[in-house]
Amino acid sequence: GLVANMAGRSKVPEKVLGLVDAMPVSMHPMSQLSAAVLALQEESVMAREYAAGTTKAMYWDHCYEDTLTLLARLPEVAARIYRRTFKDGTFIPSKSGELDMAANYAHMMGFDDPAFQDLMRLYLTIHSDHEGGNVSAHTIKLVGSALSDPYLAFSAGLNGLAGPLHGLANQEVLRWILNVKKELGGKPATVENLTEFCWATLKSGKVIPGYGHAVLRKTDPRYTCQREFALKNLPDDEMFKLVSTLYEVVPKVLLEQGKVKNPWPNVDAHSGVLLQYYGLTEENYYTVLFGVSRAIGPLASLIWDRALGLPLERPKSITSGWIKNHFEKE
């Protein structure tokens, strides 16, 4: 079955682990992950078979093999980066084949609470992909269109995900929420004082992070399922209560301001608080979690791109003369 198949692929080559261990711990975890994925690329089936003269009809199969192996090995690589960067380099052996992907990832990071394992299952599912226009998903598709193998394409996508406007959003939300808590000075969060704080944030020229989405025009369902998880597992947590009250307040404030098309919370408005509750407090690592999850969706799509024979992406370019002539005709 698939579980046994993935377990058989999951052992990371020692030389790749050695490369990870050779990187400075001061290096950002996302940079470490991107470099490690490139090191894994040496065993790419797609690269090997293309060099050997494979046919177009087999591209999808080679990408499928690479994708399964990459997905199987990502948790150990990502967990090693976490342990060496934040836990003095003490590593926890994999239980691939005994535990599912998310639970094993949590275990190798040092979290064996069944509730946290459930959170990881939820997290890896809801961050895996949405529409293909986001930076990381589209980068993987674009680079893959050059027949770059899944390792090369995914590493490129990780570099896009590391950008502050894409993968760092949940960290910015968490910092804002912690700042709200600090400004309250021990007072309980109420609709009144949070409304005042939100207006102060907007009038200072800043945005309220975690609200709005480029595509959605309603509450992000990925926010909703995290809220349901919190209601079941940490209903009395102070930070969760603060997030819940903000859910009551922020959309009304943004609607009254009248500058946004979507005043509703997105996936990033909740995830940081859940991770903090279970003790995963190293904010610089959160984008790595996102990266492990994001591999699932775009790499599956990449297999389809090769199966459908989609061409190399090349955006059309125009000259300044074309622009002038176009608008003169208008």
- Which residue numbers are catalytic? 166, 213, 268
Sorted by sequence, the CB contacts under 8 Å of residue 253 that are 6+ apart come out as 195, 198, 199, 202, 208, 263
Show the beta-strand stretches assigned E in 196-279: none
Structure token digits, residue 328: 């003169």
The β-bridge partners of 283 are: none
Q: How far is CA 1 from CA 140, 171, 295, in A?
A: 28, 37, 21
Q: Which of 328, 308, 178, 306 is nearest to 243 (CA)?
A: 178
**Residues in CB range of 47: below 8 A, 6 or more apart:** 41, 149, 151
Structure tokens at 11: 């052992």
At 211 the three-state DSSP class reads strand
